[in-house]
C-alpha cells in the first residue's frame, strides 16, 4: 500500500506529476488551480525538475512546446481563461506531435467569469479549442485520488501517442481535500529518438515543426494524425458505471457533478426508482459505443445529462443515443453545483412525462 495523505486535489495533481518523473513545469497562477504551482515551487529544491513561473499562459504553453521538443516530460496547469490563452500553442503541439500534459482546473465562464467550479469548457476541451483538425485526449478526474491516478496516466498516454493530454478538472475537485494513496515514484526513462537533443554524426537532423507549407505535405500530415486519433478512439475509452445493470433512468455526468450524481442514484434507489450512473472518464475519446449499447437496452427509458454548463456534454450523449431514447439536460451555471434535491425533482418530473 502506498503512502496515505490528506490532500487538496490541486496538491495531489502536483505530487503525482513529481512522482511521474516530470522534468519541467511552466505555469502562471490563476484561481482555482494556483496550489499546483505553489506546491511545485515549494518542492522544487527536493527534486530535479525545472520550474518557471511564466509571464503569461501564452508563454507557459510555448515553454511546454520547447521542453517537449527537447524530449522532456513537461506540464502546465491553469484555469479556464488561462486555458483559452493556450489554444494556439496546443494546436501547434498537436500538429508537431509532442507529448505534454495540460491541466485545466475549470471555473465558471464565459469571460473572466467566476472563480467557482465550472464545466463550461467541455466544448473547448473535446471539440478542438485551437484551430485545425486535431484531437487531444481529455481525462476528467472526479476525486482527489483520480487527480493522482489520471495525472500519471496522462503522462504515459502523452508519450505513447506523442500528443497533448488534457486533464479537465474543476475548481471543486481542485480545492477539496480527500484521503489519497500515492504510488512510489515511477522511474522515468525517456525513449524519444525524435527529440531535438543535438544532432550527432550518425543520424539526420531531428526537425520539430507544425508548418507544412505545401498542400500535399499538409494533407499527408493530416491523414497521419487522423489515423493516430482513430487508434486512440479504439484503445483509450475509459468510463465508470454505478448501479447500471438494471437501471431504467441513466444519468451521465463527469467531474464533481458525477459525485453528486452518485448520491442522486442512491437517493433514487431508496425510493424505488431504478436509476444508474454512467461517468465518462475520457471525455475524448467519448464512450459513445457504450452509451449506444445502453440506449438499445429495452429497459432503459431515458438519459439525463447533469452538468455545470448550459448544456455541452449532452450533445455527445445525444449523438451516442442517436434518438433511440429521450435525452434530457439539467445544468446550472455561474459556478453553482446542482444539488441532489433539484436534480431528483427534475428527473421525476421528466420521467413522469415519458
Give the CA distances from residue 224 to residues 133, 194, 286, in Å, rounded to whole numbers and listed in that order: 11, 16, 21
Q: What is the DSSP letter of 167?
A: E
Which residue's C-alpha cell is 518523473?
Answer: 21
Crossing angle between the packed helical segments 87-96 and 215-235, to the nearest 10 degrees: 90
Is residue 32 part of the contact set for other proteins (CB under 8 A)? yes
Give the one residue of 47, 259, 297, 325 binding other proteins; rule: CB under 8 A: 259
Count, residues near other proteins per rule CB under 8 A: 23
What is the DSSP secondary-structure string of 253-312? --HHHHHHHHHHHHHHHHTT--EEEEEESEEES--HHHHHHHHTSTT--EEEEEESSSSS
Dihedral angle sign, alpha carbons of residues 140, 144, 147, 150: negative
Is residue 262 part of the contact set for other proteins (CB under 8 A)? yes
**Pairwise CA distance, residues 246 & 249, whole Å:** 9
CB of 54 to other proteins, least distance (A): 24
Give the CA distances from residue 115 to residues 7, 108, 334, 354, in Å, rounded to whole numbers and listed in that order: 20, 7, 9, 38
The interface region with other proteins, picked from 46-54, 85-93, 147-155, 262-270 by CB under 8 A, is 262-270
The interface region with other proteins, picked from 63-71, 202-210, 252-260, 309-317 by CB under 8 A, is 252-260
CB of 340 to other proteins, least distance (A): 7
**Pairwise CA distance, residues 101 & 151, whole Å:** 8
CB of 124 to other proteins, least distance (A): 23
CB nearer to other proteins: pick between 99 and 255:
255
Give the one residue of 263, 274, 290, 350 binding other proteins; rule: CB under 8 A: 263
CB of 224 to other proteins, least distance (A): 43
* x-or-dash string of contact with other proteins, 153-182, rule CB under 8 A: ------------------xx--xxxxx---
CB nearer to other proteins: pick between 24 and 118:
118
Q: Could you tell me the maximum CA-CA distance found in the chain, to the nearest angstrom?
A: 74
CB of 122 to other proteins, least distance (A): 19
Rule CB under 8 A: which residues touch other proteins?
4, 6, 31-32, 115-116, 171-172, 175-179, 256, 259-260, 262-263, 266, 337, 339-341
Amino acid at each position: 500500500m502506498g503512502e496515505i495523505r490528506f490532500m487538496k486535489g490541486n496538491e495531489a495533481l502536483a505530487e503525482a506529476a513529481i512522482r511521474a518523473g516530470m522534468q519541467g513545469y511552466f505555469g502562471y497562477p490563476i484561481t482555482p488551480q494556483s496550489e499546483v504551482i505553489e506546491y511545485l515551487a515549494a518542492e522544487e529544491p527536493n527534486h530535479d525538475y525545472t520550474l518557471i513561473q511564466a509571464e503569461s499562459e501564452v508563454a507557459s504553453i510555448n515553454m511546454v512546446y520547447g521542453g517537449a521538443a527537447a524530449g522532456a516530460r513537461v506540464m502546465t496547469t491553469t484555469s479556464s481563461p488561462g486555458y483559452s490563452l493556450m489554444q494556439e500553442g496546443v494546436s501547434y503541439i498537436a500538429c508537431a506531435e509532442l507529448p505534454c500534459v495540460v491541466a485545466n482546473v475549470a471555473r465558471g465562464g464565459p469571460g473572466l467569469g467566476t472563480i467557482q467550479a465550472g464545466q463550461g469548457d467541455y466544448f473547448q476541451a473535446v471539440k478542438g479549442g485551437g484551430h485545425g483538425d486535431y484531437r487531444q485526449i481529455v481525462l476528467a478526474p472526479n476525486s482527489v485520488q483520480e487527480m493522482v491516478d489520471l495525472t500519471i496516466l496522462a503522462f504515459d498516454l502523452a508519450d505513447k501517442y506523442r500528443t497533448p493530454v488534457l486533464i479537465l478538472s474543476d475548481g471543486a475537485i481542485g480545492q477539496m481535500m480527500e484521503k489519497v494513496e500515492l504510488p512510489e515514484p515511477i522511474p522515468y526513462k525517456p525513449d524519444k529518438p525524435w527529440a531535438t537533443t543535438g544532432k550527432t554524426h550518425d543520424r539526420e537532423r531531428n526537425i520539430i515543426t507544425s508548418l507544412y507549407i505545401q498542400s500535399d505535405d499538409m494533407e499527408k500530415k493530416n491523414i497521419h494524425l487522423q489515423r493516430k486519433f482513430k487508434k486512440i478512439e479504439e484503445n483509450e475509452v475509459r468510463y465508470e458505471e454505478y448501479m447500471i445493470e438494471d437501471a431504467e433512468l441513466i444519468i451521465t455526468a463527469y467531474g464533481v457533478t458525477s459525485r453528486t450524481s452518485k448520491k442522486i442514484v442512491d437517493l433514487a434507489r431508496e425510493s424505488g426508482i431504478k436509476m444508474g450512473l454512467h461517468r465518462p472518464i475520457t471525455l475524448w475519446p467519448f464512450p459513445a459505443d457504450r452509451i449506444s449499447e445502453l440506449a438499445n437496452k429495452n429497459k432503459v427509458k431515458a438519459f439525463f445529462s447533469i452538468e455545470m454548463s448550459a448544456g455541452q456534454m449532452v450533445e455527445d450523449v445525444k449523438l451516442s443515443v442517436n434518438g433511440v431514447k429521450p435525452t434530457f439536460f439539467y445544468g446550472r451555471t455561474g459556478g453553482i453545483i446542482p444539488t441532489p434535491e433539484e436534480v431528483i425533482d427534475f428527473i421525476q418530473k421528466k420521467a413522469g412525462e415519458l
